[in-house]
Structure 1
């Protein structure tokens, strides 16, 4: 069963990823699913060890920057989501 997921990416990365997906006859959703499957298939010690790191570097312009947001409670995340919809 598929699940929906909301992600945020730089617009340039999205455009290049869509072009890459189209050139490889795969939807962007399935491409991301494939990459996440590859990443989670093994245990990696850092983000730079991910097999996707080289691909991200290819489609991104400039230095790759990984942004992490602090974890919030489920309730806080839910409140934030609903307040952003107002």
Structure 2
């Protein structure tokens, strides 16, 4: 059964998280649920890898502004499919 959860987060983080979720064609709720599930289960296999951005939301760690995630992801895909 799904239950509603209300969170108070920094507006800038919410906007970036929504953009990130949209790029992955997932809902922000699903991403948060998957992250919380990964925290509460001992099995490390999850449906998808949790990005540094999502991890930073929980830890409060700032992400470097100059970090180009699209480029990093592109480089990752190029390396993966060589």
TM-score range, shorter chain: 0.5 to 0.7
Q: Distance in 1 between matches of 2:32 and 2:19?
A: 13
Does the residue aligned with 1:7 lie in a helix, a strand or coil? Answer: coil
After superposition, give the CA deviation of every residue in 1:45-82 in whole Å (9 maximum; x if it has no partner).
xxxxxx9694333x7xxx728xxxxxxxxxxxxxxxxx
Partner of 1:40: 40
Q: Which of the two has higher C-alpha Rg?
A: 1
Q: Distance in 2 between matches of 1:28 and 1:54?
A: 15
Moved over 4 A (4+): none
Q: Distance in 1 between matches of 2:8 and 2:50?
A: 17
* Gaps in structure 2 of 5+ consecutive residues: 43-48, 63-82
Contact 1:21 1:31 in 2 (8 A): yes
After superposition, give the CA deviation of every residue in 1:8-65 in whole Å (9 maximum; x if it has no partner).
10001100100000000001111110111111113xxxxxxxx9694333x7xxx728
Q: What is the 5 A alignment of 1:1-86?
A: 1-42=1-42, 54-55=52-53, 56-57=55-56, 64=61
Partner of 1:68: none
TM-score (norm 1): 0.51
The aligned length equals 53
RMSD between superposed Cα atoms in Å: 2.7
